[in-house]
Amino acid sequence: MNYRHSFHAGNSADVVKHALLIALVRALQLKDSALTLIDTHAGCGLYDLAGEEAGRTGEAAGGVLRACAAADPLLDDYRAAVRAVNEGAEPRFYPGSPRFLAGLLRPQDSLILNEKHPEDAGALRAAMRGTPAAIHQRDAYELWLAMLPTRTPRGLVVVDPPYEQTDERARITATLAAAQRKWAHGVTVIWYPLKDRAAHARWKDKLGRIGAPKLLNVEHWLYDDDQPGIYNGAGLFIVNPPYAFTQGLPPLLEALRASLAPEGHKGKITADWLDTAASAPRTARPRGR
């Protein structure tokens, strides 16, 4: 599945991903020690919702525009980050993960961004001008391992590829397994689109075999039943999420589900621990529907 960020900027998957990223970083920042934040597939950093690519899909209408119109205060931090790159009441521009992460930095934290695509890397440098981000243009999976263990005591790696390559999931699985051997205590977030349930179940089984002791799987299904051939939602695998994040997750997931469900559908967001011992998913707290 080809999932270029620019075509899907500000859609429901972005809203869930970025709202959870904010909550995750804030939970990690409850401790004073420095954090290194790494984004392996950083994209352009900032997207024009009125531009040709985002305008072609119009997916922001079911994502950021819904979230900005929602009244739930649990989405206030997310809305504030979107407003920070816009002047008007309705968002014209959408911040990618690099801008969300940059807005969360404390003086002791650092941000490392990587984007291999030359055109996108140039746009990323322009979008991050004035921030302390270090920007690389390397193979994402090579950089992922090269940066581990992080120089600071704690860190977060965000892996958010476009899934253009047929071996993308295999590379993620292999690199995460290697990363666990180098950096077993680190926090890693892997984003993915949901389209084929059977293929996804096979991938989940493989991830369950890598030996990560704490692997949380958050899935957002937009529709009440499968919609063949279209984008059905997205999910996140989160390795080693901190306790403060998991405790606050259920109400945030419910706020996201309620604000993003398409007309005529309730939608569903679940949060389950992957049972790495049995290589099969098991239900555990937190859980939101």
Q: At what angle do helices 76-83 and 12-28 cross, to 10 degrees?
A: 110
Q: Name the phi and psi angles at 62, rounded to 5.
A: -95, 5
Q: Name the phi and psi angles at 188, rounded to 5.
A: -130, 135
76 in catalytic set: no
Integer angstrom CA distances of residue 12 from 17, 192, 259: 9, 13, 9
Nearest to 59 by CA among 230, 178, 189, 227: 230
Please state, in angstroms and rounded to a whole number, the distance separating the CA atoms of residues 256 and 117. Answer: 31
Catalytic residue among 120, 160, 226, 275: 160
Residue 135 in tokens: 């920007």
**Which residues are catalytic, by number?**
160
